[in-house]
């Protein structure tokens, strides 16, 4: 039977998911909900490949997954058909047919993440699920100076959570931009790949620099030594959103 | 005992509230949650006066309430003390001492509401609690032409939900602005007062005009005749936010 390789672009609010990846024990996951919808639509058990796993509480505006299907449902109908079967915190933004060789993880050239921080005195009731509340004075220009050291190809071992088995901890960051709007601080990070908890560890470190508890130049030392303990704490998940995956 | 008149500025996400006003039957309301927090702090039963009631599902960024208290707690500590007792969908933004005669409802000079519409093809997982999803082509300039007829002093009976006992249905609107950003449409309405469901009935009517199912000039006829049935449907509550009350 002829198979089609389907690429889906997903948006989800991570709040009520135990992350992207399906787990044992019946935890609610993005993959689990999406698989249920696909099974209901096609009566096939799909083998989903995602661009990357997102942790519990982390959001996505542009997660990408692909899977092979023998279903004869025309591609223009997939998004509506799946969305009518998905919960309101998970949406298929787009469904496309892609070449059989396309692989959402291996073929990803760049990923872009946003991390949002609110410096309001009191938590914002509207943004509380989508930002880290951090009501402190922050020296943004020092954070930007620290961020500049991160751009380029480096060994990011010092910003990776322990225990993830990867062949190399060298990655290339294309940009680490920090911008202010009202009382929100938005971090945009784009790179060819990210280690486990790397964005949240970078943000946690830049926040220490913003509080002037660490010098911007410490970034170069963390990169040079690869010592996780020199870096800042892991910023909480709800501020993080996977914005886009480029192929 | 000397009493202080305390004015609180509140923000809340309306999603999980059965509106502002305390109800019988133990429904979860903004007033109910706020009263509980004040009782816990002061051991007094406060008599809360709100600038206006918001319906179930309607949000606020700048609701105002006042109440008299004999508590000796210094005003600068009220916001933190109440916020530590309030649920995460209700925040005291500011607490001030005001003259004894200040009355949050009678003294309100102007109120500003925002209504948010998303025209994205699929519901936005991040905005779904804060907007009305309306994925249709809208002729924005026609809506703006219709909105212009609403500005000024008029009898808004045709835009009021039936059954509310008010002395007069004449109100003055200072502005009805419609602006587009990306796929969102934001309505800003400011006036000296609003009838029951008036903002949502106006928005529902302007959306019909945007769909070209009604001519902008129909607004003048609805105002002239006061016939509710000539106006559009009531837009859903989750798009509406009470932004500001001015005194």
Domain range list for chain A: 4-98, 110-246
pLDDT digits (tens, 9 = 90+) for B152-199: 999 999 999 877 678 899 999 999 999 999 899 999 999 999 999 999
* Residue B111 per-residue DSSP state: E
**How close does chain A come to B240, measured CA to CA in Å?**
13
Is-same-fold flag (A4-98; A110-246)? yes
Predicted pLDDT at B166: 82
Residue of A nearest to B94 (CA): A122
pLDDT digits (tens, 9 = 90+) for B33-91: 999 999 999 999 999 999 999 999 999 999 999 999 999 999 999 999 999 999 999 99
What would be the CATH architecture of the domain defined by A4-98? 2-Layer Sandwich (3.30)
Predicted pLDDT at A179: 97
Q: How confident is the model at residue B32 (pLDDT cuts 50, 70, 90)?
A: very high
Q: Assess contact for B225 and B158: CB atoms under 8 A.
A: yes
| Chain B residues close to A130, C-beta within 8 Å | 126
Say whether A59 and B126 touch across the interface (CB within 8 A): yes
pLDDT digits (tens, 9 = 90+) for B135-155: 999 999 999 999 999 999 999
Q: Assess contact for B19 and B54: CB atoms under 8 A.
A: yes
Burial of A169 (0-12, 13-18, 19+ CB in 10 A): middle
Kindly compute the dihedral angle of the four CA atoms of residues B236, B240, B246, B247, in this order, to the nearest 10 degrees: 40
Mutate: best of A63, A79, A121, A122, partner B, most B CBs <10 A: A122
Say whether B11 and A124 touch across the interface (CB within 8 A): yes
Residue B15 in contact with partner chain A when CB distance is under 8 A: no
Residue B61 in contact with partner chain A when CB distance is under 8 A: yes
B144 membership: H or E segment, kind and range: helix B140-148
Residue B90 in contact with partner chain A when CB distance is under 8 A: yes
Reported pTM: 0.92
Q: What is the percent of chain B with per-residue pLDDT over 70, rounded to a whole number?
A: 99
Question: Which residues are within 8 A (CB) of A142 and not within 5 positions of it... i.e. 6 or more apart?
Answer: A209, A210, A212, A216
CATH for the stretch B110-246? 3.30.70.660
The mean pLDDT value of chain A amounts to 96
Predicted pLDDT at B55: 94
Q: How confident is the model at residue B1 (pLDDT cuts 50, 70, 90)?
A: low
User: Tokens 């249920």 sit at which residue?
Assistant: A36
Is the ipTM of this structure higher than 0.90? no
Q: A216 is written with which tokens?
A: 């911007």
Predicted pLDDT at B148: 98
Q: Which of B16, B55, B107, B182 is catalytic?
A: B55
Q: How far apart are CA B130 and CA B240, in angstroms?
A: 7
Beta strand pairing call for A59-69 and A170-181: unpaired
Mean pLDDT of B217-234: 96
Residue B184 in contact with partner chain A when CB distance is under 8 A: no
Residue A242 in contact with partner chain B when CB distance is under 8 A: no
Instruction: Give me the helices (H) in chain A, please.
Output: 30-42, 75-83, 140-148, 198-210, 218-225
Q: A164 is written with which tokens?
A: 């993830």
Q: Looking at per-residue confidence, does A33 or B2 come out higher?
A: A33
Q: Assess contact for B90 and B30: CB atoms under 8 A.
A: yes
Q: Count interface pairs A-B at CB distance under 8 A.
A: 48
Say whether A61 and B88 touch across the interface (CB within 8 A): no
Q: How far apart are CA B99 and CA A181, in angstroms?
A: 35
Say whether A13 and B125 touch across the interface (CB within 8 A): yes
Instruction: Report CA-CA distances (Å) from A48 to A9, A36, A81.
Output: 13, 12, 17
Low-confidence ranges of chain A (pLDDT < 50): none
Instruction: Note if B55 is an active site residue.
Output: yes
Q: How far apart are CA A29 and CA A51, in angstroms?
A: 15
- Out of B89, B92, B123, name the one closest to residue A91 (CB): B123
Predicted pLDDT at A2: 86
Question: Which residues are within 8 A (CB) of B235 and not within 5 positions of it... i.e. 6 or more apart?
Answer: B115, B117, B132, B200, B201, B203, B204, B207
């Amino acid at each position: 039977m002829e198979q089609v390789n389907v690429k889906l672009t997903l948006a989800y609010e991570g709040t009520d998911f135990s992350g992207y990846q399906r787990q044992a024990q019946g935890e609610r996951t993005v993959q689990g909900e999406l698989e249920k919808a696909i099974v209901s639509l096609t009566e096939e058990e799909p083998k989903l490949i995602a661009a990357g796993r997102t942790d519990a509480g982390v959001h996505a505006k542009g997660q990408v997954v692909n899977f092979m299907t023998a279903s004869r449902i025309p591609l223009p109908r997939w998004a509506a058909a799946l969305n009518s079967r998905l919960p309101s915190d998970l949406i298929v933004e787009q469904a496309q047919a892609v070449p059989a060789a396309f692989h959402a993880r291996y073929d990803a050239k760049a990923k872009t993440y946003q991390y949002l921080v609110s410096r309001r005195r009191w938590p914002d009731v509207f943004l509380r699920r989508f930002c880290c509340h951090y009501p402190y004075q922050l020296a943004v220009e020092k954070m930007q100076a620290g961020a500049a050291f991160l751009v380029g190809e480096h060994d990011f071992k010092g910003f990776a959570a322990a225990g993830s088995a990867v062949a190399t901890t060298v990655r290339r960051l294309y940009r680490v931009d920090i911008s202010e709007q009202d009382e929100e601080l938005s971090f945009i990070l784009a790179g060819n790949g990210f280690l486990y908890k790397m964005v949240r560890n970078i943000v946690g470190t830049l926040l220490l620099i913003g509080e002037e508890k660490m010098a911007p130049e410490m970034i170069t030392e963390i990169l040079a030594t690869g010592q996780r303990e020199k870096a800042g704490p892991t910023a909480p998940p709800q501020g993080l959103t996977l914005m886009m995956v480029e192929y």
